[in-house]
Every structure is written in C-alpha cells, then in structure tokens.
A and B are shown apart, each in its own frame.
Chain A
Amino acid sequence: MLNKSKSENAYQIFIHIAVGIIVCASIFPLLYVLGMSLTTLGEMQRRNFFVIIPMEPTIEAYKRLLITDYIWRSLGVSIFRSLIGTLLLLCLTMTGAYVLARKSLPGRKFFLFFILVTVLFNGGMIPTYLVVKQLGLTNSVWSLIIPMLVDSFGLLAIKVFIENLPDEIIEAARIDGTGDFQLLIRIVFPLTIPSLAAIGMFNAVIHWNNWFDAMLYITNKTYYPFQLIIRNMFSSGMSSLDSALTMKASQRVSAETLRMAAVIFGIIPILCVYPFLQKHFSKGMFIGSIKG
C-alpha cells in the first residue's frame, strides 16, 4: 500500500512540474516582451539590451505609437473590420443556417453539398486575388471584409444547433401561423444568440489577426490594418515607420521598445475577449461542429 501511494505521489509531482514548466514557457515570452516595451533607451543601453524587469518603467513607447497618425488609422481599420466584418458574417450565418436547418426545404441537400465542396477545394491565393480585383474591391476596407463574409464551419455549426432545437417550440409557433421570417426573428434568433456570440468572437479574433489579406489587396497605406503595420515595423526595420516618430522617439526609447509596444497593442484585444472564448471552446462546441 505504501509503495503504491509513493508511485502515485511521484507521478503527481512529475506531471505538476512538467505542466509548470510548460506554463512558464507559455507566459514568460509575454512578460519579457511586456518588460522590453516599458524600458527606456538609457536603461537599454546601460544594461546592454538585456532587460527582463525594467527598473525605471516608461510608457513612452505606447504614447509615441498612439500619437502617430497612421497607427491610429490602422487601429481604426482593424476595429472596423473586426466589428462590421463579424456583424455581417453573423447576419449571413444566422439566415443561412436557419434556412439550411429546415429539413422540408426542396434542394436542401444540394445547397449543403454546394457549401461542402468549397471546404474541400478552393481556388487558391491567385484566383481569389483576381476575383477581389475584378470586383473592384482592392484598396478598400471591403476587400478585408467581403472575402471573409462566411465561415463554413461556423455556418454548419449553427445549422446543427438550430436542428437540435426542440421541435415543439418551432411547431407551436408555426401552428400559430407565424411566417418563416417572423419565426426566425422572434423565436430562432433569440435562442441562437449564445452560439452566434461564440462564432462571432472567433471570427472577430480572426479578423483582428489577419494581415495577409491586406498585403494582397491593399497597397494604399491609409487602409493598412494594425497587424500589417506591426509586421512592417519588423520586416523593414524602422524605415517603414514615419521618420518623425523615430526621430522623436529615439531620444527616449529604442526601436526594439517601440516594436514590443506594438506587439503588446496587438495582443491586448485578444486578452480582453479570451475569457469569453475559453468558456465556449472548453465546452467542445467547435470540435462537435467540425465533426457534425
């Protein structure tokens, strides 16, 4: 008996240590980036750019980023695409899923097949680029929204959710003579709100994080989303940053500090919605949707 509990204890200690190490490895890089984003130029130079906890923290880098015109604008673009893009996606998802969940709809199987084909086979980067160009969307915020209007997995997940709603609710309403549109607005939509919120949150995160579509479709810097600005801060050194920003900033903070502050800015919205996200994916809802 004693021997057995020894092995149980040893195992528990081992997994707690191993998980502890993995947790530290997940968190430490963030803290390190945060620390660097708060360090003054003087301290960077004094400590040879090796700062984990800044002794004289400064929010200068954040201020510099926020007083820069095009960074404001890019934050605006990112917020716009995340909010409006997600809202439109949810409208399409709600109506589409509602219709496709109706088993009596003639042609339903065809429509579902029509959607599933595109999950399996897509045109690829170049043809999609050509279509966005043909539609005249390049160099407009809509090029970042319209191609992402539907998330097929989310659509199918909501469809399954509506199918699983208790039949009595729907039937009762239909006997009362409620029309299809009224049924959607008054009964199905309110019941679906929690699931829609989850799909919406995921897609808002995808919108906020997307930078590659802007690299394809947008050449006018006015419409760059924030993630693309961060990317450019790293890829071409500071040359892509407004020289005024660098000049003024360089007296107080280093280029590294500015970059790290931008990274933190890119992370903050994610951290804000994360608690809501976790509530949903830990329920396994998305795994169910992929396999359903």
Chain B
Amino acid sequence: MNKNQLLWKRIVQHKTLYLLLLPLIFYYIFLRYWPIVLAWIVAFKNLQMGSGVSTSPWVGFDNFKFIVSDPEIATAFKNTVQISLLRLAVGFMPPIFLAIMFHDMTSKTLKKYAQTAVYIPYFFSWVIIYGIAFAFFSTGSGFVNNLLDMMGLPRQEFLMSTDWFRPILIIMSMWKELGWGTIIYMAALSTVDTQLYEAAIMDGAGPLKRIAHITIPSILPVVTFVLCINLGHMFYAGGEQVLLFYNKAVMDVADIIDTWVYRVGIGNMRFSLGAAVGLLQSLFGMILILASNHASKKLTGNGIW
C-alpha cells in the first residue's frame, strides 16, 4: 500500500469522528471565518444603509483615507490608548498586593470568606455595574452626593462631568475585577514551597523581607505575563463598559474605538467605515499581542501560548 492509500484508510477509520466534528467546523466557518472575510471585503466597499454586500460599490482605500483624516476617529484612538494606560497604571498593582495579603493571612477561615466576597462582583454584568455606579454617583439620589449634601457641600454631576468620567470608569471596573485579578497570582503562590518561608523565619526574616525575597520572586513571571497580556489589549479599552457609562456631555474624554464603531457603524449604518476601523483595531491588536507574547517569552520563558 502506498502512502496515500494508508492515509485514506486512516481517514475512513475515523469517519464517525469527522462526522462528530462537522457542527463545530460549520460554526467556525460561518460565525468566525466568514466575518473575517467580510471584514476585508466590506472595508474596501461602500456599504451603507439600504445596500447589500454584493451590490455595494468597491471604493479602494477611500474608507481608510477618511479614517486618517477624521478628527473624531483620531480622538477615539487617543482616548482608547489613554484609558487603557490609565486602567493599567491604576489597576495593575492592587491585585498583586491583595494576593500577597491573602497569601500571608494566618486565619484561613477569614481568608476564605474574604476571597468569596471579593470574587463575586466579577460575575455581575456591566449593566449591573452601571446600576451600582448610578446608585452611588447620580446627582439627585446618589450615595456620594447625599454624603456631600449632608456635609453642606454642593452636589456634583459626577456622571456628566469630563473630569469625573475616567476616575468613575476605573473605580467601577476595579470594583468588578480586583478580586478576580488575584486568582492568577494565588495559583502561582499556591505552588511555592512553604519550607522556604519556615527557613526564612528561622533565619530571622521579618514579613516584609519574606515578601521581597520569596513571595515577589515567585510570582514575578506571572506578573510579567499579565502585564504583557494587558499591553496586548491596548486597543480594547472596555467597550461594553464605556458604552454604558458615557453620554453626550463626556464624549470628548470617553469615546473609544469600540463605541465609535458602534455609534457610527451600526447606529448611522455606515457599515464600511465601521468595518475598516474594526479591521485596523484588530490588526494593531494582533501585532501588539504577538509582540507582547514574544516579549513575555523572552523575559519569563512563559508565553500566552
């Protein structure tokens, strides 16, 4: 039997398995690959309200020329990167501190209850998170404004203020994700040999010394890994959350790529423009992820894949 016949025989042997795989293949072709193909087609066409993909005219690079010259898109790109960096600057360290504190708590029961409490908000939808933000920051009945009022201070329009938009966005996403962020570090810490700590205590190392010499070095590769993933997501600044939190009054500081694509691409039915911006976002995003994965592998020997 030659090689081809052998291969054919093996394929026939596995025919049930191929049949079982078929639904999955269909799913990936129609719902994952077809959108990618459409993205490349539609970005070079002029698809708007009323026309179809096949009937709309090809326009070459017109959509991209528009993107480069449009100030609103430039603002959206700038805001996206700024908000991502802000999230990283404020939100990156706290989960590490919290994980170290959980790790060092001597009362295991308290630790368990505390973990249970801080993980919960991660599983709430962004709609719920907005509801809670509203309960605290709305002008008329928000908790914070009621406090200000009680202290004789004027009420603030937190949710409509360009100064407050980003701080509130970040406070609320930290409320949702702080606890969850500790999990990856807790997993790394659970593998640390407890004998190391015992030996350090014998040698007279205090708690801070143990953190500096045992705890931090043992999670450092994970820290680098998480940092790289975060940098790779620079062009995704949390579209779902911003879409819920923003309004006309704060557009200048709030509009990001995702919200722009939704508002103009879907809302105004300028599908081609939206698809072109999405394509750029996806391409830049992929380059960043590949680069940061490479960096992570270089620095820690640990890649995303």
Contact = CB atoms under 8 A, between A and B. Distances in A.
| Mutual binders A and B | yes
Interface of A: 4, 7-8, 11-12, 15-16, 18-20, 22-23, 25-27, 29-30, 32-33, 36, 44, 48-50, 92, 95-96, 98-100, 102, 104-106, 111, 114-116, 118, 120-131, 134-135, 146-147, 149-150, 155, 179-181, 184, 205, 208-212, 216, 227-228, 230-231, 234-235, 254, 256, 259-260, 262-263, 266-267, 270-271, 274, 277-278, 281-282, 284, 287, 290-291
B258 A125 contact: yes
A125 B179 contact: no
Nearest to A50: B146
Contact of B125 (A32, A92, A210, A277): A210
Given A122-B35, A209-B127, A266-B124, 18 more contacts: A4-B204, A22-B118, A26-B175, A26-B179, A49-B140, A95-B23, A96-B21, A99-B20, A123-B278, A126-B278, A135-B30, A180-B14, A181-B20, A209-B128, A227-B127, A234-B134, A263-B131, A284-B187
Contacts, number: 261
Given A92-B23, A180-B17, A50 B150 contact: yes
Given A23-B114, A125-B274, A227-B127, A180 B16 contact: yes
Nearest to B120: A274
Given A19-B101, A48-B149, A259-B134, A96 B24 contact: yes
6 contacts: A4-B206, A50-B146, A106-B7, A150-B28, A234-B127, A266-B124
Contacts of B57: none
A26 B120 contact: yes
B190 A284 contact: yes
A120 B107 CA distance: 42
Interface of A is mostly: helix
A209 B240 CA distance: 12
B34 A126 contact: no
Question: Which 3 A-B pairs give the minimum distances between C-beta atoms?
Answer: A123-B35, A124-B278, A209-B125
A110 to B, nearest CB: 11
A205 B123 contact: yes
Interface in B215-234: none
B33 interface: yes
Given A4-B206, A234-B130, A124 B279 contact: yes
Contacts of A227: 125, 127-128
Interface of B is mostly: helix
A24 B32 CA distance: 42
Contact of A125 (B7, B11, B135, B261): B261
Contacts of B83: none
Interface string B138-178: 00110100100110000000000000000000000001001
A240 to B, nearest CB: 13
Contacts of A106: 7, 10-11, 14
A235 B131 CA distance: 10
Contacts of B36: 118, 121-123, 127
B24 to A, nearest CB: 4
A115 B32 CA distance: 9
B211 to A, nearest CB: 9
B136 interface: yes
B27 A287 contact: no
Nearest to A33: B135
Interface string B266-284: 1000010011001101100
A22 B178 contact: yes
A124 B281 contact: yes
A124 B104 contact: no
A190 to B, nearest CB: 17
Interface residues of B, number: 93
A123 B38 contact: yes
B293 to A, nearest CB: 10
B132 interface: yes
A95 to B, nearest CB: 4
Contacts of A32: 135-136, 143
B131 A212 contact: no
A15 B107 CA distance: 11
B183 interface: yes
Nearest to B8: A106
Contact of B266 (A49, A125, A131, A260): A125
B183 A287 contact: yes
B232 to A, nearest CB: 10
Contacts of A48: 146, 149
A134 B38 CA distance: 11
B91 interface: no
Contacts of A130: 35, 38, 42, 53, 271, 275
Contact of B98 (A19, A135, A287): A19
A230 B127 contact: yes
Contacts of B131: 33, 230, 234, 259-260, 262-263, 266
B128 to A, nearest CB: 5
Contacts of A120: 286, 289
B184 interface: yes
A128 B35 contact: yes
A124 B114 contact: no
B106 interface: yes
Contacts of B18: 99
A72 B279 CA distance: 39
B207 interface: yes
A129 B35 CA distance: 8
B105 interface: yes
